[in-house]
Amino acid sequence: MAIGTVEVGSPVNLTSSGIVAGGTAMARTFPGGPNDQGSVAETTTLAGTMLGFYVNSTTSGTIVLRNGQASGSPAIGGTITPAIGWNFYPVTLPNGIYATIGATLDVTFIVVE
């Protein structure tokens, strides 16, 4: 029996400051299950959800995550000086997520669509 691939997020690569995830609610349609052959429409606010980030390379790089879609949005924590590799950082911010990147950093954020 084959095991399928489960995709849980989309990559967003940044090498300078920018929007990681939007904050707009999305409408999604799911097919019905075995007892319901129709479709179910659902509105979700997961557009501002991040699972974490993968640091591809860095030279003293830093990240400040912000609640919103602009550089002036309020920070949700302090300055992060991440290590190369996977960094688990689950967060949902309905206003979106903006990353301010300092120094040299190549980072890929995994966000929920």
pLDDT of residue 60: 94
- Number of independent structural domains in the chain: 1
Q: Is residue 5 part of a domain?
A: no
Residue-level length of the chain: 113
What is the C-alpha to C-alpha distance for residues 19 and 110, in angstroms, rounded to an integer?
Answer: 12
Q: Is residue 38 part of a domain?
A: yes
Taking CB atoms within 8 Å and a gap of at least 24, the contacts of 73-77 are 73/98
pLDDT, tens digit only, all 113 positions of the chain: 455 544 567 788 888 888 888 765 544 444 444 444 444 444 444 568 899 999 999 999 999 999 988 899 999 999 999 999 999 999 988 888 999 999 999 999 998 86
Report residue 25 as tokens.
Answer: 């609610």
Q: Is residue 3 part of a domain?
A: no
Q: Domain limits at 33?
A: 10-111
Query: How many Cα neighbours within 13 Å face the side chain of 82?
Result: 25
Report residue 56 as tokens.
Answer: 């591809």
Q: Is residue 60 part of a domain?
A: yes
pLDDT of residue 21: 82
Q: Is residue 99 part of a domain?
A: yes
